[in-house]
Structure 1
Amino acid sequence: MRYNPDYACDDAAVAKDLIRENPWATFISHVPEEGLIASHYPVLLDEEAGGVVLVSHVGRPDEVKHQLGRHPMMVIVEGSHGYISPSWYGYRPNVPTWNFVTAHLHGTPELLSDQENLQVLDRLVAHFEKVLPDPHLLHATQENSEYAHRIVRGTVGFRLKVERIEGKEKMNQDKPPESMRNIIRNLKAAGPYQNLALAERMERVNADVLRGSL
């Protein structure tokens, strides 16, 4: 990822929040015999561990393709992003851009036992189901539990302690406060580029500047 000090964001707390809010990730490994291998799976934080630690799984045979546990892996997580029109800046000349937040997380996976993997899968399902009126949990019934023990053999769980973070957050920090406000207004307005999540992220990231310029 191209380094730009204006947008660099390698803070562990920011990376953790990004994972909590956007738990769908891309796993990338470089395997000597195959080259680059990429897969996509949900991830969760190991909240009790020190530092940034991810837990997840891959479906077989992805663990073979990645040679999981034998090489470093890069995990990419990204949050709100979207197109920004130059007509929203309030001055010309200008060019369009794309606002985004992303983190590249580097580490070597540690394989989990079947029992540990089942615990991660159980937690993963509970994480997404708990907001529903009738959550479908892995161990809610005997039938569910028996099914969970069967399917766990089709997955390989892992824990990844993040050793290096490369983060980037581009939310128009280089624009004047009035331009930021105008961009946020346009992102909230009905139209082809309405993006409420990105508008909220821009307000949050630039809150001090926006408050200070009133």
Structure 2
Amino acid sequence: MAKVSPSILAADFANLERDIHKVSGAAMLHVDVMDGHFVPNISIGVPVVESIRKCTDMFLDVHLMISHPKQYAEQFCKAGADLVCFHLEAEDDVQETIGLIRSCGKKAAVSIKPQTPVEAVYPFVKDLDMVLVMTVEPGFGGQKFMPDMLDKVKALRAYAQNVNPALDIEVDGGINFETAPQAAAAGANVLVAGSCVFGAEEPGKVVEAFTAL
């Protein structure tokens, strides 16, 4: 069984509460935070996470695509994030940032970009709840899935079996009815899907289908 984390980046922001309720059966809700510096796009910040927290009790999977996650992690934790994911390639100390998130009583995750070798995250796996393997370049929705990223997922799953067997491995980017089964077969158990879910007539049914993988 896969955990599905619909990405609100693909939702209708004028009707965000309505769209969130449509996917309330999902295990998580993926919230992309972009600063226009780490990635060439700007999305949402702390006030929107606070607002989302007020309208749903879903598990909030907050993905910080920002240069200084340590500076902002505590704010997002207080705003209602259940898990904070930041990038290995960001400018802050990785171990310190993990420690800060944990000190807030929240789950910690690290993400890696397509160009980053999967081995770079290995030293931190034992201290993480989840690793996010980006299957597109971070920053924009609707991109084409990179199938060669599945080798990273396989290698990470094999490594985690000895170090942290409970590790969640998340994939984000280009996840649809064709690529979701491939990602699950490679060892990913958390699927971020944006356009495929919120672009559907019945988003809840897409969530159900992916959860069954």
Q: Normalising by the residue count of structure 2, what TM-score does the alignment of the two structures yield?
A: 0.25
Q: Which has the larger radius of gyration?
A: 1
Q: In proportion to residue count, which structure has more helix?
A: 2
